[in-house]
A = this chain, B = another copy of it.
Amino acid sequence: MHLTFRKHLEKFITVNDEEFLAIVAFFKTKKVIKKENLLLEGTICRQHFFVIEGCLRKFFINDKGIEQTTEFAIENWWITDNIAFEHRLKTSFYIQAVENSEILILDRDAQEKLLEQFPKMERYFRFVYQRAYAASQMRIKYLYDFTKEEFYEHLCKNHPEFVQRIPQYLIASFLGFSPEYLSEIRKKKRS
C-alpha cells in the first residue's frame, strides 16, 4: 500500500529504505467506505489526506442547501482545506469518500515534525503545493472563461478518467449545474 506513496515521493526526492520507513511512521493509513466523511463543516481541520486508491471530494453546502463540489482527489493527490489546516481553523468544507478508498492521513502536528526531521520533505511538499496551485490557477481561468457547457467539454477531453469514474450527479455538482441539465447536455452530445 505504501508503494504508491513511495513512487510519488520519488518523483521529487530520493529516499532510501530506512528513511522511507521513518517517513511513513508519521502517517496513519485508513480505509474509508463510499460516502464516509473525513472532514465536517464547523470542525477544526487537522488532517491532510493522500489518496493511495480511490477518490475523495471536497464540497460545501450553499445557501440553498445544495452540496457544491469544489475538488476531487484521486490516486496520488493530496486534499484538505489548506487555510484551515495551516492555521488550525474551523473549516467551511466537507471531505467525503466518493468510492471505497485507501488513504494516508498526515496530522497537522505530524506534518510539522516530519518537515523538521526530514528537511528533504520540504522539497516534496514544495512540488505538491506548486503543482496544486498551478492547477487551481488554470481552474480559476476556466471558471471565468468557459460556459458550464464548455467546462464540461473540457473535462471530457482533458480528464476522461474523471468523467468516466465519477458519478454523474457529482460531476454536475462540480460543474455547478443540476444532474438533469447535465443529462440533457450529454444527450445533445451523443446525438
Contacts and interface: CB of A to CB of B under 8 A. Distances in A.
Interface of A: 60, 62-63, 68, 70-71, 81-83, 86, 92-93, 115, 119-120, 122-123, 125-126, 129-141, 143-145, 176
A137 B81 contact: yes
Contact of A134 (B62, B86, B115, B119): B86
A130 to B, nearest CB: 5
A116 to B, nearest CB: 10
A16 B139 CA distance: 39
Contact of A144 (B70, B129, B130, B145): B70
A70 B119 contact: no
B82 A141 contact: no
B144 A68 contact: yes
A86 B129 CA distance: 13
A141 B62 CA distance: 10
Contact of A86 (B120, B131, B138, B139): B131
5 contacts: A82-B133, A83-B134, A125-B130, A126-B129, A132-B133
A128 to B, nearest CB: 8
Contacts of A143: 140, 143
B62 A145 contact: yes
Interface centre among A71, A92, A123 (most CB of B within 10 A): A123
